Structure 1
Amino acid sequence: MSTSGYTYLCRIETLQEGVPRRFEAQGVPVSLVLTGGEVFAIHDLCSHAAVSLSEGEVEDCAVECWLHGSRFDLRSGEPLDPPATRPVPVYPVTVEDGSVHVDVRDSVLSPQLDGGAQQ
């Protein structure tokens, strides 16, 4: 796979299983999560309260927002629990020769916040 359009974020060995880690790719906050041997990239701001998802807990391929407890599927960005009702973008990831790259230009969704949230 070509990494054209992808942004290098880190070496795979800097990620810990089940521990989200915040990066910035082309000005976009991204949380990388290694879980089940796979790397996922999700927009780092909760769609409900605009707080960092990389500070949350990971379980069963989902990350939990530490502030209000909404969980988001790492594969789709869909909210699994309230109070969040809008998904967060997820981004394509490639790992080549131990280097993790993300394409933030090709998100599944545009970053949006629920009604009263502020960025």
Structure 2
Amino acid sequence: MIRVAALDDIPEGEGIAVDKSITGTEDNIALLRDEDGSVWALNDTCTHETASLAEGWVENGHVECPLHSSKFCLRNGAVDGLPATRSTVAHRVEVRDGEVYLFPGEAPA
């Protein structure tokens, strides 16, 4: 478990990227905050082309890639909109006392 951000660092409907040197993962991790305030973690690089999902649009349980509008489910990383055809990796994240903790490589419950 790694503390990766303060909840206030992530605006609703947006995301931030956490460098892989901090997370120990193969890819940077996108921390994404949905409109309901929930926080999710996905591998940051879109599976279609090299674009940061943290720079995408977050709404209704999905993140939309800023490059070609592929959509991914925040809960499990499943692709839910072309042109991407491969899902991305979801990681477990918890918010405690306004701090965001990442469990790299552990699937969300």
2:15 is matched with 20
1:61 is matched with 61
Alpha-carbon deviation of 1:107?
Answer: 4.1
Alpha-carbon deviation of 1:42?
Answer: 0.8
2:29 is matched with 30
Q: Normalising to structure 1: TM-score of the pair?
A: 0.79
**In structure 2, what residue type is equivalent to 1:11?**
A
1:94 is matched with 94
**In structure 2, what residue type is equivalent to 1:92?**
R
Hey, which bits of structure 1, 4+ residues long, moved more than 4 A?
A: none
1:105 is matched with 105
Length, aligned pairs only: 103
Max radius of gyration: which structure? 1
Structure holding more strand per residue: 2
Q: Please tell me whether the aligned partners of residues 7 and 26 of structure 1 are also in contact (alpha carbons under 8 angstroms).
A: no
Q: Normalising to structure 2: TM-score of the pair?
A: 0.86
State the identity %: 33
Q: CA RMSD in A?
A: 1.4
